[in-house]
Amino acid sequence: MKYIFTLALLTFSVFAIAQTNQKIYDIIDDISEERIRQDVKTLTEFGTRNTFSDTVSTTRGIGAARRWIKNEFETISKSCDNCLNVFYQKDFVTKEGNRRVPHDAWVVNVVAIQKGTKYPNRYIIMSGDIDSRASDTMDFTTDAPGANDNASGMAGAIEAARVLSKYKFESSIIYVGLSGEEQGLFGGAGLAKYAQDKGWDIIGILNNDMIGNIEGVDGVIDNRTFRIFSEPVPPNETERQRNARRFYGGEVDGISRQLARYVHKTVKTYMPEMNPMMIYRLDRFGRGGHHRPFNDLGFPGIRIMEAHENYTQQHQDIRTENGINYGDTFEHVNFGYAKKLIAVNAINMASLASAPPAPTTVSIGGIVEPSVKLKWNAIDGAKGYKIYWRDTTSPTWDHSRYVENTTEFTLEGIVIDNFFFGIASVDEEGFESVVVFPNEIMR
Ligand SMILES: [Zn+2]
């Protein structure tokens, strides 16, 4: 009986790619609401974390905050046999030429890198922000607890490091606290430039900015819905790419959008109680976030955040006015919700860092033919590939076919004109890369 059972299991593992992975469920369960609460509390107790606040005090200001964050990452690293490389990455910003910079200062990010075992130069990044602000962004002395904006994201990066550092991944994971967000996305710009100079192969950045508020300013309460912002196509594409899109499609299929779809799909698979909203724009209307400087340099990046914002609790001095309590204080954060959004990050980083790289070249053909042909470059470490397609009006990759031992395939009876197509790499455990939209035409 036992023998038969083992045989059946073996047969299964040989002929089927697992649809879900237990490791991912374990990661969700490991994220601790209590630790997130403690970390957000600690961060708010630095009084203000304005980028231009005190750097010398051990109890108040951004200097004390970043030293505490660095120390947290180092403590995590100690318990995983020094698996994290923790360091400051910094750039000097000057008052001159910057409208929202009150005085010259170093903008200091705290970076923790968990090196990948197989692809150390491939990185998936999770960011939160160290800095906070009062009503006046130039005011670097008034209390600005920034509990939701953005101690929630910062605590998220620390908590994800605690949980994921217990595992080994093929690609590298970066947990980072960025600074200078409120005065002009300086920290993100600094790290994006650093990544470009180092030649990092970036799978994407998951920028977490405000992940703990469940009650909107209009009274809507919702602890299931969250937003994934992604821009349609990279801003630094060439004129040739832009022109090609007119004839071959791709207006809603840029690299950041594929990352957004990946996150959406992972959440639907592993956290079906959540309601991810893909928002087809770079960020909120006229507002910014730290994924943008990465997008500016052509890296994929998305913003993950709450669905319902409360504007009386953002960028506000703590005060009571007309019966309304203003200020971004600790008690407004919902830690159960923050835990869910941090799990969203953790499972996507675990999946992406476990998956083989995506194909780099995907060719498509089938003009005036009844079937579509696809061809892609072989990926070392891929057990197979998933061909995805969808109706041109659908936001998600709704149809797929798995193939092995080949790098080309014809989908019989599927007409190229009526769908969009893409290819993902798949490993033996079923972990998939991001989908790649065709970037070459077969004639
Ligand atoms: Zn803000």
What is the CA(315)–ligand 1 centre distance, in A?
A: 6
User: The whole model's pTM is what?
Assistant: 0.95
> pLDDT > 70: what percent of the chain?
96
DSSP label of 312: G
| C-alpha atoms less than 13 angstroms from C-alpha of 52 in its C-beta half-sphere | 22
- Residue spans per domain, the chain: 22-354, 362-441
pLDDT at 3 over 60: no
Residue 222 corresponds to which tokens in the numbers above?
């919702």
* pLDDT value of position 17: 54
- CATH for the 22-354 domain, from 1.10.150.120, 3.40.630.10, 3.30.390.50, 3.40.50.11540: 3.40.630.10
Distance 60 CA to ligand 1 centre (A): 19
Distance 90 CA to ligand 1 centre (A): 20
CA 316 – ligand 1 centroid, Å: 10
58 CA from centroid of ligand 1 (Å): 24
Residues measured by CB to lie within 5 Å of ligand 1, the ion: 149
Q: Give the C-alpha separation, 407 to 417, whole Å.
A: 22
CA distances from 291 to 118, 207, 265 (A): 26, 6, 20
Q: For residue 2, name the pLDDT band (cuts at 50, 70, 90).
A: very low
In the numeric block, which tokens belong to residue 262?
A: 């990946």
Q: What confidence category does residue 19 fall into, taking pLDDT thresholds of 50, 70 and 90?
A: confident
3-state DSSP assignment of residue 153: helix
Structure tokens given for 4? 């038969």
Residue range 362-441 forms a domain whose CATH class is mainly beta
Whether residue 15 is predicted with pLDDT greater than 50 in this model: the reply is: no
* Average pLDDT over every residue of 298-312: 98
Q: Which of 119, 125, 30, 424 is nearest to 262 (CA)?
A: 424
Between CA 155 and CA 208 the distance in angstroms is 10
CA–centroid distance, residue 404 to ligand 1 (Å): 47
Tell me how far apart the alpha carbons of residues 106 and 134 are, in angstroms, rounded to a whole number: 20
Average of per-residue pLDDT values in the chain:
95
Pairing relation of β-strands 105-114 and 171-178? antiparallel
Rounded Cα distance, 148 and 129, in Å: 10
* pLDDT in the model for residue 18: 55
**Surface-to-core class of residue 402, CB atoms within 10 Å of its CB (0-12 exposed, 13-18 middle, 19+ buried):** middle
pLDDT of 242 above 80: yes
Q: Taking CA 132 as the corner, what is the angle to CA 131 and CA 137, rounded to the nearest 5 degrees?
A: 115
